[in-house]
Amino acid sequence: MIKQLKLPCQALLFVLLVVTGATIQAAGVDVYLVYAGADKKLQKRIRATLPGDLAIKSYNASLLMMADYSGKQKAIAKLSSAKLVVLINKQSMELLGNPRFPNALMVTGDSSQEIDKIKAALGP
Amino acid sequence: MTARLTPFKAGARDILGLPLLLGLAATTQADIDPMARMTAVTQDISEATNGRLNLSGYINGHYMTHDGLPDLVNKHLNHALWQIREASLFADVVITDSLLFSTELEMSYSFTDKEHSGRKDSFEALLNYYYFDFDVSNALGWDTDEVGALHIRAGRVLVPFLSYNENKPNFKQNLMSQPFTAWQLAPVNNVAIDFQQFGWTDLGAILNWNYAFDEAGLFDVKFSVINGLGTKSAVLDNNTVQLNSPGMMKPTVRPRDGLVNARSDWDEFSDVNDEPALVLKASFVPAAIPLNIGVSWYQGAWDKEGDHDLTMVGVHLDYLQRNWNIKGEYVEADVEQQAGINVVSAMGPAMINVSTGDYTMSSWYLEGAYVPFRYGSDNEKFLKTIIRLDEVDTNDKALFTPFDRERLTLGLEWNFMHNIRLRYEWQRHKIHDFDNAPGPYIAAGGEEEVTMNMISLIAHF
C-alpha cells in the first residue's frame, strides 16, 4: 500500500512545495462584492456608490451552479484575499456554502445605511 | 496484499464490514464533531499560509451486494463488496490574484479480496487532476460586467462533458451509485468489470468564458482540447470477461460494457493517435430560478490510425432547491467501427464477440430528491428520500448485451451530524431482450432482473 501511495504523494508534495513557494501575494483587493445572478443590477449600484479610490472586484456566485466540485473552495480562496467581502443578500452566502469568512459583511440593499456599513467595515 | 489472506480472514473481514460501517456511524453520534475539527485544521493551514494553501476533502465507505448477476471465473459479482470507495484531499493554491493551481489526491481501498472484488489492487492512489487555472479577465483588468469573464485551465483536467463528471463526489450527489450516463457512457467511473478510474480526466486545456445578462441569467461555455478516449485495440469496447458456467467450458465474452477511458492512469500523458479530441459544453442558469441546463458535445478519433470517430452529444439539467432537487442527463454516442472483427482469441461465441460495425450507445437518467423534515441547530440535520430512473444501451446493433437495461433506484439519506451522512440504496435492474441471452450467460447465473443493496457512510470537510 505504501508503495502505491508513494508516487502520487511525492508528486503532490513536490508540486505543492514548488507552487506554494512560487506564490506571490495578491494584488491587494479592497472589496469583493459577491452577488447572486438576480442581484447583478444591485451590485452595480452598490459599486457605483463606493469611493473611487478603492480596489473593488465583483464575483457572481451563481457561477458556482456550473462550476466543478472544488469550485466553491477556489472561489472562497480567491475572495478571502480581499480586505472585505461584501455578501449581497443571503442567496450569495448560500451559493458559497455558508463559509466562515473572517472579513465578511452582508448587505441587503443599496440604501445609505447599508453603504455606511461597508465604509465603516473598511475603517478610516 | 489481500490475496495472501486465508479464506476465513477474508470472509470475516467481509462480514465485519457492515458492523464497522454502522459502528463508525454510532461513534460519530458522540459529543465530537470530526468534520468541524477537520475544517478547523484546514482553516489553520490556510491562515498559516496567508490564504495561499486551501485544503478540503471527503471520504466514503460502502457495503454492497448484488443478486442476479452472472458468476465470472475471476470475479464473483454477487459477493458482498466492502470498501473505502473514495478518500480525497483537494488542494487549491493561490499563486497570484489571477493564477491558481489545483489538484486532488484520491485513494481507494477494498476490504473485499481481489477474487471477489475483481480489482487489480486493494489499494489505489492517484492524482485525479492537476492543473493551472489562469483568470485572463482579472489579469487584464477587464470589466466583466461588460465583456464577461475568461479563464484558461491547463494540465490534467476534469473533462467538461455533461454535469455529473464535474460534480461526482458523493457528498454532492443524492446517491452513491452513479447514473448509467456517467457509468457506461461518459466514463466518470469505469464499469465494475475494470474498477480503476475515479473521474473522467484527461491531459489538455479548457477555455472557459461566461457572461451574466442583467435580466435573463448566466451563460457559460467551456471549450476543451484533450487527448480524448481511445484504445490500441481494433474495437473500442474491447473488455472481456470469462463466464463461470458449470462444466469445463468457460466462454470468454465481450460484455460491451460501454466506454472505458483506456488511458485513465493519472501519469499517462500519451495519446493513442495524433488527433486531439474536442469537447464543448454550454450551460445556462436563468436569473429567476436555480436551474442549470446545458448541452455537451465531444468528438475525437479513438483508434491508432485516427480513422474512426467517437461522437457524443448530451444534455443535462439540475434544479437545485434547499429541500428538493431534480437532476437529469441524456447522452448519445456514435461509434465508427469496422464490422466483422473478433478480438477475442480465447474460446467464446463468435455471435457475441464479433464487432457489429458502426453502432450507437445511449443513456438517460432522471432523479428526484426531497427532504421531508430537518432538525437540529440551523436545521442542518435531515432525512432525504431519493428516486432515480435510468436506462442504457451500449450497442444498438448487438443481439444481446447485459448493458441494455433499465433501472429503478430508491434511496434514503440521513444527515445525522455536521457534514456526515448515512445512505441506503436499493436497485432493481431489468435487462432488455433477455430472450436473446446466450446459454452460458444464463448458466453462469445471469438473470433478467438484478437487485442491489448498498449502505454508505459519507463525510466531507
Strands A56-60 and B217-226: unpaired
As a whole number of Å, the CA-based R_g of chain A is: 18
For the entire predicted model, the pTM comes to: 0.87
Can you give the residue range of the structural domain that contains B188? 6-460
pLDDT given for residue B186 in this prediction: 87
Q: Is residue B346 part of a domain?
A: yes
A20, A27, A40 member nearest B52 (Cβ): A20
* B52 with A23: Cβ contact below 8 A: yes
Q: Is residue B54 part of a domain?
A: yes
pLDDT given for residue B197 in this prediction: 57
Q: Which residues of A61-91 are buried (b: 16+ CB within 10 A; e: fewer)?
A: bbbbbbbbbbbbbbbbbbbbbbebbbbbbeb
Q: Is residue B399 part of a domain?
A: yes
Q: What is the pLDDT of residues B356-386, one digit of tens each?
A: 899 999 999 999 999 999 999 888 899 999 9
Distance CA B192, CA B427 (A): 16
pLDDT given for residue B114 in this prediction: 78
Q: Is residue B1 part of a domain?
A: no
pLDDT given for residue B192 in this prediction: 44
Q: Which of residues 377-436 of B touch A (CB under 8 A)?
A: none
Distance CA B90, CA B169 (A): 11
Q: What is the pLDDT of residues B67-118, one digit of tens each?
A: 999 999 888 889 998 989 889 999 999 888 889 999 999 888 888 887 777 7
| A39 grid coordinates | 442581484
Say if residue A7's pLDDT is above 50: yes
Q: What is the pLDDT of residues A16-31, one digit of tens each?
A: 666 666 655 545 788 9
Q: Does A67 touch chain B (CB under 8 A)?
A: yes
| CATH for B68 | 2.40.160.10
- Name residues whose C-beta falls within 8 Å of residue A10's C-beta, 6 or more positions apart in sequence: none
For chain B, how many structural domains are there in total? Answer: 1
CB B406 within 8 A of CB B180: no
Q: Does A45 touch chain B (CB under 8 A)?
A: no
* B267 with A7: Cβ contact below 8 A: yes
Q: Is residue B158 part of a domain?
A: yes
- Tell me what ipTM this predicted complex has: 0.81
* A81 with B138: Cβ contact below 8 A: no
Q: What is the residue-level pLDDT of chain B in tens, covering all 461 positions? A: 333 344 444 455 555 555 555 665 555 555 578 898 898 899 899 888 888 899 999 999 999 999 999 999 888 889 998 989 889 999 999 888 889 999 999 888 888 887 777 777 788 888 889 999 999 998 998 888 889 999 999 999 999 999 999 998 888 999 999 999 998 998 876 544 455 557 889 999 999 999 999 889 999 999 999 999 988 899 988 888 899 999 888 999 988 988 877 666 777 778 888 899 999 999 999 988 999 999 999 999 999 999 999 999 999 999 999 999 999 999 999 999 999 999 888 888 877 888 989 999 999 999 999 999 999 988 889 999 999 999 999 999 998 999 999 999 999 999 999 899 999 999 999 999 999 999 999 999 999 999 999 999 999 99
Q: Is residue B184 part of a domain?
A: yes
Distance CA A40, CA B427 (A): 43
Residues of B in contact with A73 (CB under 8 A): 54, 56, 90, 92
Q: Does A117 touch chain B (CB under 8 A)?
A: no
Neighbours of B232 (CB within 10 A): 11
Q: Is residue B374 part of a domain?
A: yes
What values do phi and psi take at B278, rounded to 5? Answer: -115, 140
B374/chain A closest Cα distance in angstroms? 17
Q: Does B123 touch chain A (CB under 8 A)?
A: yes
Distance CA A57, CA A31 (A): 6
Residue among A71, A78, A82 nearest A105 (CA): A82
Q: What is the pLDDT of residues A77-91, one digit of tens each?
A: 888 888 899 999 999
Interface test with B, best of A32, A68, A91, A92 (most B CBs within 10 A): A68
Q: Which of residues 197-226 of B touch A (CB under 8 A)?
A: 210, 212, 214, 217-218, 220
The helix (run of H) or strand (run of E) holding residue B442 is: helix B439-443
N-term to C-term CA, chain B? 30
Q: Which of residues 63-92 of B touch A (CB under 8 A)?
A: 90-92
Q: Is residue B290 part of a domain?
A: yes
